[in-house]
A and B are shown apart, each in its own frame.
Chain A
Amino acid sequence: MTSPRPISIEIIGLRKAFGDHTVLDGIDLTVAAGTVFALLGPNGAGKTTTVNILSTLISADGGTARVAGHDIDRDAAAVRAAIGVTGQFSAVDGLLTGAENLRLMADLHHLSRTEGRRQSAALLERFDLEDVARKPAMTYSGGMKRKLDLAMTLMGSPTVIFLDEPTSGLDPRSRRGLWDIVRGLVADGVTIMLTTQYLDEADQLADRIAVLDSGRIVAEGTPAELKRRVPGGTISLHLNDLDELEAAVRAFPDGVRDNDALTLSLSAAGDVPAIRAVLDRLERSAVTASHLEVTSPGLDDVFLALTGPDARKVAP
């Protein structure tokens, strides 16, 4: 994938240890402007630490990183002026109303009174928070708090946004709402780095994904590229009746049969030669399958294959 887009986040050899526990063990990443980059990994993989370092919250032990063109160590103030961060735990002032929280952000961004009002009103409308704008934030539901949190992050129009597990603890409807918001932001040209444990989320949103495990990047690429890197996938034969199923099982003794569904699942790559081989064998055995279903490996398979103690070694 070649992209002419300018680079928004560049990380070289980032390292961090807490005591003698290494959290980041040399990370290299490049994120193009106006794209969504997902850091995917199990708990403790180093996702939040990466975001904390890039958002200038903590300092790295080694390596360099540039965010929005500024070095995170030497020019932290310029990085802060360019970014917006929504952390894992909602960073809203519970005693203040939604409108007051936004007004606080506007004041801290030194916006004029009229500009602050204009942006607040626009954000409240965009996030569908107008009805609760005058209620204290601590009375909000989890989804509403998260939306207010994100609205506060957007005040001051950041060009790079970090979202640390933005949808954890949200109900499915709120999750989808948040996905739409993220897509809208990217359409406006904002660069987004998000961390997630949810594969479907990375699959849905990210242009590129880095799979993080124990402080190392174990795989990186587009969702499609990652799925291709994991062997597996299945070809399922749907048969018309039990007799046909028996015949199919004789032809493919390794297959997994399902008598109720009248299917036989064969483990095979989903490419054309593999499908042709299956069809050829069916024809030789005179079995008529009603139809055939090819399933590529999901990101689930990628995740399980690449992370954790049982991680299989997959050729890059």
Chain B
Amino acid sequence: MNAISLSVTDSSTMLRRNLLRMRRYPSMTLLLIGLPILFLLLFVYVFGGTLGAGLSGVAVGADGRAEYLTYVTPAILLMAAASAAQGTAISVAMDRTEGIFARFRTMAISPSSVLTGHVLGSVIQSLLAMGALLGVSVLLGFRPDASPLGWLALFCLLTFTAFALTWLCVAFGLVSESVETASNLPMFLVILPFLSSGFVPVESMPAGLAWFAEHQPFTPIIETVRGLFTGDADVATALVAVGWCVLIALVGYLWSRKLYRRDPTH
């Protein structure tokens, strides 16, 4: 068997394993799907009235809840992707501590397949979580205005974002000495969307924070998703978003590969 077909065969075996694990441990998947929905409800119904009233284009004194639903949905989509990635760090760390990684490493299999299986499984989980969230958002009254091409671009961008965050979290899972650390390390990914244009406009933040929000990776991604939903995405912002994803994916992949190859006894 040549290297590529070996890699495809073994990666799909590992993906099957991870999908089976998700079925056996449904509480994790349910949490990853349920928590973003809870956040959406919280932000729309608890904070939405007030926050929405502050959005530009909302008449003074009017209830901005419907506008805020449209505004915040992209941010919560990204939070869903970040939490699913966090789940990957946990499952990678579990594999490492359970000794099954050591077994895989002594077998004549494609070395990359172990991690690829985790990443593919997690991206599927992430898409499920984002799909469910979008469904709930539409039920609450969100009416996206995207063209078929826009939907395709949305799907590609969200999948790529999930892919990038997952590779980064695989590295977090490998670098962690314990499952607890692996669960805590990626926490900042779930927090970062709050410090972006996802929940409130950047202009409303204090100068230093606004600068950070303007330049951190989640802002261009969220802005592009928002633009694709309304049908007026900015190409320059989209390129910055894709650039960030490429960078995060590359760093995560190369770091993971290095960590996977090092002595497992350290």
A interface residues with partner B (beta carbon < 8 Å): 18, 49, 52, 55-59, 77-78, 80-81, 83, 85, 87-96, 100, 104, 107-110, 136, 152
| Residues in chain B near residue A85, CB distance under 8 A | 102-103, 106
B37 vs chain A, min Cβ distance (A):
25
Among B24, B98, B265, point to the contact of A136 (Cβ < 8 A): B24
B50-109 interface (Cβ within 8 A of A): 98-100, 102-109
A-B contact pairs, 13 of them (CB 8 A): A57-B106, A57-B264, A57-B265, A78-B108, A80-B107, A81-B108, A83-B106, A90-B99, A91-B100, A93-B17, A95-B24, A95-B25, A110-B1
| Residues in chain A near residue B17, CB distance under 8 A | 93, 96, 104
| Residues in chain B near residue A52, CB distance under 8 A | 265
Task: Look across to chain B and name the residue whose beta carbon is closest to the beta carbon of A82.
Answer: B108
Say whether A104 contacts B13, CB under 8 Å: yes
B interface residues with partner A (beta carbon < 8 Å): 1, 9-10, 13, 16-17, 20-21, 24-25, 98-100, 102-109, 263-266
Say whether A57 contacts B107, CB under 8 Å: no
Say whether A96 contacts B102, CB under 8 Å: no
Name which of B10, B21, B108 has the most chain A CB atoms within 10 A of its CB: B108
How many A-B pairs have beta carbons closer than 8 Å: the answer is 70
| Residues in chain B near residue A56, CB distance under 8 A | 105-106
Among B13, B108, B265, B266, point to the contact of A107 (Cβ < 8 A): B13
Say whether A92 contacts B25, CB under 8 Å: no
B138 vs chain A, min Cβ distance (A):
33
Among A78, A94, A110, point to the contact of B98 (Cβ < 8 A): A94
A137 vs chain B, min Cβ distance (A):
10
CB-CB under 8 A for A58 and B263, given A89-B99, A92-B100, A152-B103 = yes
CB-CB under 8 A for A108 and B10, given A57-B102, A58-B263, A87-B99 = yes
Say whether B108 contacts A80, CB under 8 Å: yes
| Residues in chain B near residue A104, CB distance under 8 A | 13, 17
Say whether B107 contacts A108, CB under 8 Å: yes
Among B98, B108, B266, point to the contact of A91 (Cβ < 8 A): B98
B188 vs chain A, min Cβ distance (A):
28
A80 to B104, CA, bound (A): 10
Q: Beyond the given A87-B103, A91-B102, A95-B25, please list 20 additional residue pairs across the A-B interface where CB-CB is below 8 A.
A: A18-B266, A52-B265, A56-B106, A57-B105, A57-B264, A57-B265, A58-B265, A78-B108, A87-B99, A87-B102, A88-B99, A90-B98, A90-B99, A91-B100, A93-B17, A93-B98, A93-B100, A95-B20, A104-B17, A152-B103
